[in-house]
Amino acid sequence: MKRTKRTLGGAIGVLAILASGCATYQEPPATADATPPPGYAPVFVRNVAPMPQKKTQSMAISPGRVDIGDAGKVRMYMHIVDSTGTYFQGASQGAFKNMWCRITETVGDTKRDVKKFTVREVSERDHEPIAVALVTDHSGSMGDARARSVQEAAAAFLDRKAAEDGISLVRYDHRIQVEAPLSKDGTALKGLLAKNGLEGFGGGTAIHSGVAGAIDHLNASANGYVRKAVIVFTDGQENSSKITRDSLIRYARNSHVAVCAVDFGEGINEGYMEGIARATGGSYHHIYRTSEFEPMFEDVYRRLKNAYVVEYTPQEYGLHTVKMSFCFPKDSLATEFAYDNTPDVGSITLLNVFFDFNKSTLTKESKAAIDNVVTMLKAFPTMTIEVRGHTDNMNRTSDSTYNATLSERRAQAVREAIVRAGVDGKRVSAKGFGDAVPIASNDTDEGRALNRRTEFIILTK
């Protein structure tokens, strides 16, 4: 069945992307609600209030998403909430700032206190514009009634969005359709939102393609927004995409898009969507009732707009279990995170190594970074890497090849240090790029400092 084209401002048509040629495939509808497991008691953020001086009875730190995509740092997003769905803001300021009292991390058999960390708050009070694509499952298993419930929840979500934020609406079965292009105009977006159940849809489930299509749209349209995110909802399992899970994760990370995943019911692939969310710095929810669509969409959005961001630099690669404590004078809150910062194939990672001025001699401060890479290579016996050296564009000599030569010598010095630590030299190559690949402007001291760097890329794993 053809869908009627709608317009935003009379100019923009609905973009439809064919993700599969199986146009006649239909999934049987599931029941409207599923049975929650014992003890299921979700807390959906609906309100924001100032942080009280004393711990309230139901107050807790709720772990959120973890971002490990920035130059060796980890950012943990957490929320101080109570059982009524109230998020408490202001706990990174004044006397509260020193109440973030302890972080411990465990990697393998090693447990240590994290001595250096920072805490800041992201707040809806800052009015930072974010771009969000709401990607909803319209496969056959949804059924017409449940699809209409999702559409009503999407309309309520648009009513509550902040004026500065851009929202786009994407539907998928085995096809992908950008129903409403990215816009800050909530009224116009609601005009494009069809509350028509599964009309024109009802086929397979192309989750990967639905998210990738949303990222395509955000990449093309989200200029001027400080952050980008996808909220993707599904009640089933991937069966129709043309892009793999690993390729989707890589695309999201390279695009700096957090994928916040929401599973519904019992017919899901346990852990599958959660893995995508964790790997892209997004959050994960699993709900069971159609009545939860509306508060769930608002919860994901409010947590994107409000969070305490704890940042530190891990000392090694691998699976980390992190415990965080917030200490009132006579009470405390605690939460636990887990993340794995082992780089993926193709990812480029900054090495915190240091050299004497204009030389390729590693300083003693570089040992921790070298040991970290050696530990990773020994944990993955088939992994191979390339060490890459870079300089800024400063060259006070008459030799035009000086920067390229210096970066090559420094990359080789790192390689030799890794090999001396017991790694087969065939697994480590080195290359110098000189000043050919800057990541910042060479017109400022800060930019040149960023461009003087050593990194490695994983070739095979």
Over residues 247-259, mean pLDDT: 93
User: For residue 317, what pLDDT is reported?
Assistant: 87
Q: Is there a shared CATH topology between the 47-123+308-340 domain and the 348-460 domain?
A: no
- 192: nearest Cα among 217, 171, 215: 171
Distance CA 73, CA 13 (A): 41
Distance CA 261, CA 245 (A): 13
pLDDT band for 24, please (50, 70, 90 cuts).
Answer: very low
User: What's the topology of domain 47-123+308-340?
Assistant: Immunoglobulin-like (2.60.40)
Q: Report yes or no: 269 and 245 within 8 Å, Cβ to Cβ.
A: no
- 65: nearest Cα among 227, 287, 222: 227
User: What's the topology of domain 15-30+126-305?
Assistant: Rossmann fold (3.40.50)
* Predicted TM-score of the model (pTM): 0.81
* Distant-in-sequence, close-in-space partners of 427: CB < 8 Å, separation ≥ 6: 377, 383, 384, 385
Quick: pLDDT tens for 36-80.
Answer: 999 999 999 999 999 999 999 999 999 999 998 665 789 999 999
The yes-or-no verdict on residue 135 having pLDDT over 90 is yes
Distance CA 187, CA 180 (A): 11
Within 345-434, residue ranges assigned H as helices are 367-379, 402-420
* Distant-in-sequence, close-in-space partners of 37: CB < 8 Å, separation ≥ 6: none
Which SS3 state, helix, strand or coil, does residue 425 take? helix
Query: In the CATH scheme, what is the homologous superfamily, with its name and number, of domain 348-460?
Result: OmpA-like domain (3.30.1330.60)
pLDDT band for 178, please (50, 70, 90 cuts).
Answer: very high
Domain boundaries, the chain: 15-30+126-305, 47-123+308-340, 348-460
Distance CA 277, CA 255 (A): 14
DSSP 8-state assignment for residue 8: B
DSSP symbols for 175-216 = SEEEEEEEES-HHHHHHH----TTTT------HHHHHHHHHH
Query: Across the chain, what does the average pLDDT equal?
Result: 91
Distance CA 180, CA 377 (A): 46
pLDDT band for 10, please (50, 70, 90 cuts).
Answer: very low
Q: What is the dihedral of CA 339, 311, 67, 294, to 10 degrees?
A: 100
Distance CA 80, CA 172 (A): 34
Report residue 298 as tokens. 């608002």
Q: Which residues are registered as beta bridge partners of 230?
A: 133, 259
349: left (phi over 0), alpha (psi -120 to 50) or beta: beta
The burial class, CB within 10 Å (0-12 / 13-18 / 19+), for 411 is: buried
Over residues 238-252, mean pLDDT: 94
> Any idea which residue has 């992190």 for tokens?
322
